[in-house]
Chain A
Amino acid sequence: MSATRSLPVICAIGFVALIVVGLLLPEWAMFLTTMAFAKGLVALGIVCLMRAGLVSFGQGLYFCIGAYVAGLMANWTGITDIFLLTALGIIASGITGMIFGPLLATYRGIFFAMLTLSLSMILYGFLSKMTALGGTDGLNVAAPTFLGYAPEGRALGLSLYVYTCAIVVIAGGLVRTFFDSERGLIALAIRDNELRVEYLGASVRKEIVFSYVAAGILGGIGGVISGLAIGHVDPETAYWTTSGEFVFVAILSGYLSIPAVFVGSLLLEVVRSFSNLYFPNTWQLSLGIFLLAVILLLPNGLGSLLAWRKRRRETS
């Protein structure tokens, strides 16, 4: 498996390339990329589930947990260290995932989607009622520090960008390793024939719980980064439209390639940002046309472009 051996090299190259590009980007683009990558992490979680044939319409739950962990910890305890906040976000979303994972693992298809959606909507309803936490208006979050380093202005944007890129590369590498592992390949088998997987002696349930928790943790990390970058968290992060956006990025990117998820997320942000500016009254329409075009022209997502090239190289 030469692909697995060269993975750290690919990750390192990817990271350096992202940093070099980042140094050249204007501030607004750097921020846009940071946000796209944070949301891409959540979508990557959905991709983990999509490989097993499941779609979660409630990843906003973990996105929101991550964002509120960052927001409340910063406000209540004064912790602003991004590393610590990310760790806390991972713990909170991981525990939540382990509680709901076993419950959800027995459902498939639309039932799984609806149950995940309802869980995130429960959190939305709860936070909307909590006036102590700012209710529907949410609350502001202090700027993050990086192991005692407290940057401002462009340095802050750059630090967040570098941090996000590092997380994206690490998470991407780990997920790739997982996808190529025995366990990750079983997920694909579940998608094809669940019964046969059970007969072969693997536990479908365990596998799905594992994927679900992994997806939750990725969602939590995305939420922490996004909450700190925006500087504000509100219950909207758990609303179903937010979750729907993550599902869209996952579908846009497909489950064939991991970089495609982040490219897809970036593409969506760029299209939205410019259509919002140039067509203030019809930006939703232009966004919708873009989404429709991608679905019609690339039914397997952006990843199929990369996979197609790879296949062509192998046959020639």
Chain B
Amino acid sequence: MIDRVRKSSAGRLTSRLLAAVAAVGMLGMGTAKAEDTFKIGVVTFLSGGAAESFGVPAWHGGKLMIEMLNEGGILPPPYDKKGFGGMTIEAIPVDEAGGATKQVQEFRNLVQREKVDAVVGYVSSGDCLAIPPVADELKAFTILYDCGTPRVFEEGEYAYVFRTAAHAAMDNISLAKYMKSRGVEVGTFAGINQDYAWGQDSWADFVASMSVIMPDATTDTALFPKIFAGQYGTEISALIRDNADVVHSSLWGGDLQAFVLQAGPRGLFERSQVALAAGDHVIPQLGNKMPDGVIIGARGMNGLSAKPKATELTDVLWEAYEKEHDTFPVQAPFRMWQALLGLKTAVEKAMAENGGTKPTAEQLAAAMKGLEWEAPSGTIKMALGNGHQAIQPNAIGTTKWDAETGKMTLVDIEYYAAECVNPPDGVKAVEWIKEGFPGAKCD
């Protein structure tokens, strides 16, 4: 049972003392009262198909970080200040299950009934499309932390809505680049993706990227099983018969686990090079049942691929997460962390400008626009969508089981600069890919 992150009454005295000490340290920002709280609604999947892979790890990571921030001084600078600019963070977790209609209702309840200062949430791209117009209508500062669809800021423009994670185009662009640079022989490639917006978009992005990066490769098999199908016997037969050099998949969660477990014994991983666009998050559950030599992305420099580039910040969070949950953090907590750190940076920037009072939604939006900050997943830049959509570096690696430590590792990791795999501002991702990535800055 996850309870609200609130100060227990026993700890209140100590927290006041700590807050007082922290307040003394905050020279020039005096007016934010120590007992002020900054209330955020955290919306993510706590039940349903996306809970185990995305929602629950993200909330675990978020809860952990909020506790550390409320304590103050645990994270390295510039995140050593208590809470958000001295204010204690109070988080209200909300389950994202139930569809966009329900989420719009719950969003209104969070803003109008619970009077939260900001909402951080949404994994499902349907929810990410439905929430922004309402957020603008209510003038409620909102961070979309996880969802992938490029449509949010390519089709709309919102004053109070920000997405602190890169959209999904870079996942598949990076995969194609990785094939090229690692010298994977791709004569033919096939795909297995879920039959809904995420799967359809991922496959379209990958096909478009391949036609630019490896124009000789051809494809004739694109399978779209139903989401949450769980049984892939027929699809695996079709993939084996097709015998393509590369099999692309953006499957996630239980679907991906089922696919790997069912395809492994039938030898698909030996016949074809399998590339999983967002596959890192099933490694803790699968362990050594994840075959060696699978190309894996993590939708950013997240999880195992962040470890070789770890900063002090990454290490502190990684160790605390591992200690508390007995497993390493995958992509979901990384995205939650970058959202919360972005929010912290924006709140503190706004407070530095308004003389240290709790910022309004307008001040927060002004501070967040075009912001840059350091996260365990690298430097996050709000570069697209007129300063509302983040770009971030990406990494792709290959799985290798380490029998000595009994842990799955990633080898041959290649890192991609944010500007290398994300379109410039004002250019739609699909068009950018088709035009051959004009203006991409790769080092």
Tell me the A residues contacting B by CB distance below 8 Å: 26-29, 31-32, 35, 128-129, 131, 134-140, 143, 152-153, 156, 226, 230-232, 234, 236-237, 242, 269, 272-273, 276-277, 280-284
Contacts and interface: CB of A to CB of B under 8 A. Distances in A.
B95 interface: yes
A31 B2 contact: no
B196 A140 contact: no
B94 A280 contact: yes
A306 to B, nearest CB: 27
28 contacts: A28-B113, A31-B112, A35-B101, A128-B195, A135-B196, A136-B197, A137-B149, A138-B100, A139-B129, A140-B130, A226-B101, A230-B100, A230-B101, A230-B104, A230-B105, A231-B137, A234-B100, A236-B99, A269-B105, A277-B94, A277-B109, A277-B114, A281-B2, A281-B46, A281-B95, A282-B1, A284-B47, A284-B97
Nearest to A32: B105
A313 B101 CA distance: 41
B56 to A, nearest CB: 9
A166 B436 CA distance: 56
Interface residues of B, number: 37
Most chain A beta-carbon contacts within 10 A, residue among B1, B100, B104, B134: B100
A143 B137 contact: yes
Contacts of A138: 100, 126, 129-130
Interface string B340-380: 00000000000000000000000000000000000000000
B108 interface: yes
Chain B interface helix/strand/loop/mixed: helix
Main secondary structure of the interface of A (DSSP, over half): helix
A282 B104 CA distance: 20
Nearest to A138: B126
B333 interface: no
Given A231-B137, A242-B99, A281-B2, 6 more contacts: A27-B112, A137-B126, A138-B129, A232-B126, A234-B130, A236-B126
B130 A28 contact: no
B310 interface: no
A276 B126 contact: no
B246 to A, nearest CB: 24
A134 B154 CA distance: 13
Contacts of B393: none
B106 interface: yes
A277 B92 contact: yes
